[in-house]
Amino acid sequence: MNIDLQETQNIIDATKEQIYLQGKTHTGNRAKPRRGQVFNCHFGVGVGSEFQKRRPCVILSNEINNINSAVVIVAPITHTQKSMPICVQIADKFDANGTAILDGCANLAGLRAVSSYRLAGFICELDNNEMKQIDAAIAKHLDVIHHYNTLLKVIEDDKRHVSALNSVLEELRGITGAPNNKELVEAVRALFGKNTNDDF
């Protein structure tokens, strides 16, 4: 059996970090991030192509969850090729001194739930446009877009039905000379000998 010394050292370092993070959970002093904020996160040792070690991540879970739960949903920020549909390019971020503090892309392939005790420090906050792009990428990645497309089709069908009804009403108003739908109803009631106070 071959033993990779570097991998073994990585596992030892990750175990030490795990013990440290576990100790933090007893303090109750956890981060309460807001959606769209970027923190450093201790991902630990990954299996295969999983994201690992410490790297920036953007908070994706909602505000109520982030306040009340010790588990948040994040996506790592990496330097993967931005042409991939699961990656959303992030504009370079700088601190007050002009030093670059963040670059790369939010990689939705690494979407995962982590303990907020893994969050090591606030870096910056993404803008609304970047978060909208991330939301769109999440919808595609998780195939939620299929659900929204179905709803959009229902809405478009409803719009066509309403448009058709409005065309009929407009034609009836032209025939009866009624200036609006209320008077059109009264004209129809009168045509059928119905009192305007009766149910039609």
pLDDT band at residue 124 using 50, 70 and 90 as cut-offs = very high
Q: What is the pLDDT of residues 70-81, one digit of tens each?
A: 899 999 998 876
pTM above 0.95, yes or no: no
State mean pLDDT over 156-169.
90
Q: What is the pLDDT of residues 131-155, one digit of tens each?
A: 999 999 998 888 887 777 888 888 9
Q: Which long-range contacts (CB under 8 A, 24 or more apart) does 134-139 make?
A: 134/58, 134/60, 134/75, 134/88, 134/106, 134/108, 137/85, 137/86, 137/87, 137/88, 137/106, 137/108, 138/60, 138/108, 138/111
Q: Where does 5-142 sit in CATH, by number?
A: 2.30.30.110
More confident residue, 47 or 144: 144
